[in-house]
Structure 1
Amino acid sequence: MNKLKYYFIAALVGMSLSACNDDDNSYNMLDGLGMVNRSVSIADGVTVRANTLDRITLDYNNLVGINPDKPVTLNGQTLAPVVNPENRMQVIIPVALQSYTDYTLVIPDGAFHRSDDPKVMAEGMTITFNTNTGVNVANLAQSLINPNATPEAKKVYQLLLDNYGNKQLSGAMGEVAWGTAFCDLIKNNSGKFPAIVGFDYIHLASSPSNWIDYGDITPVQTVWDAGSIPAVCWHWNVPMEVWAGQSEIGNWGALRLDKAEVPDAMTFWQNAGDGTYIVVKFKDAAADAQGSLKDSDWGGLMSSTEYFDLTPDQIAAGEYRVRLNSEAAEKVRNGGLIVSGQNYTVTGVYFELTCRDTKEVKGFDASKVLTPGTRENTVATADVAKLAGYLKLLQDANIPVLFRPFHEAAGAYQWTWFWWGNSGVEVTKELWIWLHDTLTNDYGLNNLIWVWTANYNYGMDLADIETLQSEYPGDAYVDIVGTDIYKEAMSDQSAIFNLIQEAVNGSKIIALTETGNLLDPDSQFENSALWSFFMGWYEQDANGPGFLTWNLNGEWNTVLNNPLVLNQGDFSLK
């Protein structure tokens, strides 16, 4: 017992002397103490980035000597450890690591000893670690998933492959749908035009019209001819069913869909804006039937909706449609609405059009899209046929597309915000595969490079690998995996890059498919986490495009003029 006490006191003395002497070179031997390792700079079993680790250090409780007859090895190769001259109680082992390699560091018994007494030796140790992270081009899919991909699509993918890990392509949404105003603003700000320009088929239901026509491919053609790559996402707007059933509107009866009676419906009403259509479906309308839409306080939404006669055409169609102005839309957002009138039976109320939805309401039930005869199937198949026609125009013009349908397709299933995620992970994957097979096999579209968006977080935490993998449609249906990040400007988000890369086993190019603030290319490169490309989201107000919320301190100029970033004119695909 006394012997144990003396050892404990000696250890305390050793710690005390060590602490006192760390700041100078007047070290004294701690007589009677053995060689005890106090710390190692790398833990057993960890994953590290090859370019961030050039030495391994070991700290001891005493001044260290090195025995050259007891070689320290890394994967069988002899290393050259040295004693830190500034702190002679530390050993420095220089290392030169390669990416995607498993390592075993072997320090034999007696490799290190007390400098004044080689017979007092340190115990050996073995440490395993790996560098299985960062970009590994050799592990990537070397071709597109479509064996019949157009030559132009193959060239785009090869460009991304050739530059992956070394250069990053700039990108920005052109504007809300079918123009390049935001990219033009970036050019004026930075002197550089983005390498990738984003478009959106968000207004598919309204095209063609006098304000949007996806059949006019001039904006996309201009971008391609100028040397940039078109990217197209699809906020798939559909008619949302707010209510369905039978509600007889006799003599000024009412169907209340306001916040007091149906609070879940407020999910839809929050998206009401100037120009939004409310569609009321009905049956059994008398010749003198009248319709009426009121706000939650029973006031008229607009003078035209206070009450109105249902026309013969409306009665024949079994529906009437009301286009909200900005004042009426605000009333709907604040309180919902009340359907009233006289002498007809309401069978459905729809919000047209939006992609927003929830699990609780399911205004457009994703699980019914692939079931023939359902409203969802009828709408979806018609929309895909229409979309395919517009994409075919681009293929016929030899224009490839970075195609990102089902915007943020992974969703965030505990707080779903788009309809394609309202029925769970498996349904969303089925929809992705169905759309891929339909556009590729049924419509013969070979100009598409399929870009899937991973959901990297759940609340404030990074998602786990198993969750990301459970959401992934599979390597056979995805060319590029991306994610959307809204973080601090010029920050380093390598942890997110690593997470997504690990989820797909490093087999797919990883891109930043949407971002508010731009991230720092230098830190990405240093951490071997350089996104293949980034897509800055557009901003605009009544005065047009602008830097309103993000990138307020010249980040577009800084990033697009970084030598790691490729812009329009820095490469050729022709």
Structure 2
Amino acid sequence: MVGKSVLYVLAIASAGVAQTTTYQAESATLSGVTVGTSVAGFSGTGYIEGFDTSTDSITFTINSTTSQLYDLSIIYNGPYGDKYTYIVLNNAGGSQVSLPATTAWTTVPAGQVLLAAGSNSIQIQNNWGWYLIDAIALSPSAPRAPHRITPTPVTPNANSDASALLAYLASVYGSHILAGQQDPASLAWVTQNIGKTPAVLGVDFMDYTASRTSRGAVSSDVDSALAFAQQGGIVTFCWHWGAPAGLYDTPEHPWYSGFYTDATDFDVAAALADPAGANYTLLMQDIDAIAAQLKKLQSAGVPVIWRPLHEAEGGWFWWGARGPEPAKQLWRVLYERLTNVHGLRNLVWEWNSVAPEWYPGDDVVDLVSADTYAQGDHGPISATYNNLLALTNDTKIIAAAEIGSVMDPAQLQAYQADWVYFCVWSGDFIQGGTWNSVEFLKSVYSSEYVLTLDEIQGWKSGNASSLIRGKAR
């Protein structure tokens, strides 16, 4: 169904007050969706429903008198559970937006859009589908206030390496972004094919715990991290933590997928509720195994951006399968055991979920981050960035810990999306040509805004600034 496009001219209200303009969804151009009126409380003459196939969308046509950045909001109803939608501006670049379950008409921030002077299109694409859209609203974005971070590690008596790493991240936050790449082989591909080496190497503790090593798994990721640090790079570890017990190990759910919720019957809430139980003991043994590897890095003077329990709020990993409270409890157990039992002082703790109810607390988090995948979209991921900004009231540095498509540096700056580093996932995400073309990657890595390995040399001693001096934001 195609409805009449909405045409508005945006303006700043008198007396310097930003004007919010609302655009009714039923007046936009509709594709595969229909106008509904049965759910009371909507504005205008109706709302849009459907969103049951991947091609369904609403397109708003908006005229702007100037080129300007605007805050975008969506007024929606979500009676069918938690959903996501996708916003595309002018057919290129955009953001995934979370639409939490609700039976009331609710306004949710949807990031920002940089409108060009003249005609613009804002499209809401289906994504997870099954939600109701009443309207969108736009208001001119206020200039970003200075960040209010304090680069003091949450680890008591953090060593000089961890302190230097957090201080360095703080020094570039808002003026540059560090290029990062998951997996040593993929990082080598970037060096060979793009001509520059990422500043950050992402590696994984996946194959260092008993549920995998007992089945023959081996890893050299700690050795790779040590070698990269010797080159002057920064390392970040995630942990695809295979459940310590209860793996199904079937053809549908083999043992090596044991970090997934649907591959195990391990109940994290039950394990944490029984510190004297066998499953709690297995959790501690796995943490101790990772502590032994972290101690090797600490002894070598290597600080680690440490990102365990990643993507907890998604629920697809067992540590998030029982909701936010067990996930937050496990985070604090992990923090206490590594910090107080094992005496690790080289960790920069990075939380990796966006929803406020999942956040474990400022006292145990140094960085906040998100993992986002949008194929072929090189937009700034501004909605997610702004949600992370709000999560800690702009008191923590923000990272794009996993991405599929690299963000366009020009858009990052235009949208004030000050991600401190990005880390592209491995394999086809970096080298397949679909998520990122070689030509685009070369343009990113040559940008003055993007820092590579050669440009961060001396970061630990505070001398890296001389290598990037004069690089304009």
Taking structure 1 as the reference length, the TM-score comes to 0.53
User: SS in structure 2 opposite 1:140?
Assistant: coil
- How many residue pairs align between the two structures? 332
**Contact 2:380 2:412 (C-alpha < 8 Å) held by counterparts:** yes
Contact 1:482 1:512 in 2 (8 A): yes
Work out the CA distance in 2 between the residues paired with 1:153 and 1:537.
24
Whichever residue aligns with residue 153 of structure 2, its letter is: L
Identity of aligned residues (%): 30
Q: Which residue of 2 aligns with 1:238?
A: 243
Aligned to 2:383: 495
Whichever residue aligns with residue 268 of structure 2, its letter is: A
Q: Which runs of 5+ in 1 are unaligned?
A: 1-37, 55-128, 175-179, 244-264, 277-351, 456-467
Q: Does 1:187 align with 2:191?
A: yes
Partner of 1:313: none
Aligned residues of 2:243 and 2:266 also touching (Cα < 8 A): yes
Q: For the Cα contact (< 8 Å) 1:368–1:374, is it kept in 2?
A: no
1:167 aligns with 2:176: yes
Partner residue, 2:309: 406
Task: Give the whole-Å Cα distance in 1 for the aligned partners of 2:388 and 2:143.
Answer: 11
Show CA shifts across 1:478-525 (max 9, x none): 000000111233223212211110121001001101001111121111
2:432 is matched with 547
User: Could you say what the CA RMSD is over the residues aligned between the two structures, in angstroms?
Assistant: 3.2
> Matched residue of 1:169: which SS?
strand
C-alpha deviation, 1:528, in angstroms: 1.5
Distance 1:566 1:379, change over 3 A: same
Aligned mate of 1:440, from 325, 329, 339? 339
The 1-side partners of 2:154 and 2:403 are apart by 26
What is the aligned counterpart of 2:361 among 463, 471, 474? 474
Distance 2:158 2:252 in 1: 41
SS in 2 for 1:154: helix
Give distance in 1, aligned partners of 2:423 and 2:289: 26
1:149-164 pair list within 5 angstroms = 149-164=158-173
Matches of 1:207 and 1:156, distance apart in 2: 31
Q: How far apart are residue 374 of structure 1 and its match? A: 3.1
Where 2:246 maps in the other structure, the secondary structure is strand
Counterpart of 2:270, as a letter, is K
Please name the residue that 2:399 is paired with: 511
Q: What is the SS of the residue equivalent to 2:162?
A: helix
User: C-alpha separation between the residues in 2 aligned to 1:538 and 1:406?
Assistant: 19
| Aligned 8 A contact 2:181 2:202 in 1 | yes
Partner SS, residue 166 of structure 1: coil
Distance 1:270 1:147, change over 3 A: same
Unaligned runs of 5+ in 2: 1-10, 22-66, 70-138, 462-473
Residue 519 of structure 1 aligns to a residue in which SS?
Answer: coil
Question: In structure 2, what is the Cα distance between the partners aligned to 1:143 and 1:356?
Answer: 34
TM-score (norm 2): 0.64
Q: Select 1:356's aligned residue among 260, 276, 280.
A: 260
Q: Distance in 1 between matches of 2:439 and 2:259?
A: 33
* C-alpha distance in structure 2 between counterparts of 1:353 and 1:408, whole Å: 16
- Tell me what 2:95 maps to: none
Q: Where does residue 421 of structure 2 map in the other structure? A: 533
Q: 1:367 aligns with which of 263, 266, 269?
A: 269
Quick one: distance in 2 between partners of 1:554 and 1:130? 34
Any residues of structure 2 matched to 1:84-123 within 5 Å, and which?
Answer: none
In structure 2, give the amino acid aligned to 1:164: Y
**Which structure's CA Rg is the greater one?**
1
Q: Look up the SS of the partner of 2:398 in the other structure.
A: strand
What is the letter of the counterpart of residue 228 of structure 2? Answer: V
Task: Show the counterpart of 1:387.
Answer: 290
- 1:525-571 superposed Cα distances (whole Å, 9 cap, x missing partner): 12211211001000169xxx842642135332221111100110112
Any conservation in 2 of the 1:135–1:165 contact (CA below 8 Å)? no
Deviations 1:435-469 (A, max 9, x none): 011101110001000011124xxxxxxxxxxxx22
Aligned to 1:40: 13
Task: State the match for 2:146 in structure 1.
Answer: 136
TM-superposition CA deviations, 1:201-253 (whole Å, max 9, x none): 11123459987245x8432121001111011000101255267xxxxxxxxxx
Counterpart of 1:190, as a letter, is: I
Confirm or deny: 8 A CA contact 1:440 1:446 kept in the other structure.
Answer: yes
Query: What is the rounded CA distance, in whole Å, between the counterparts of 1:198 and 1:496 in structure 2?
Result: 21
User: How has the CA–CA distance of structure 1 residues 513 and 210 changed in structure 2, closer, same or farther, with 3 Å as cutoff?
Assistant: same
Distance 2:231 2:383 in 1: 35
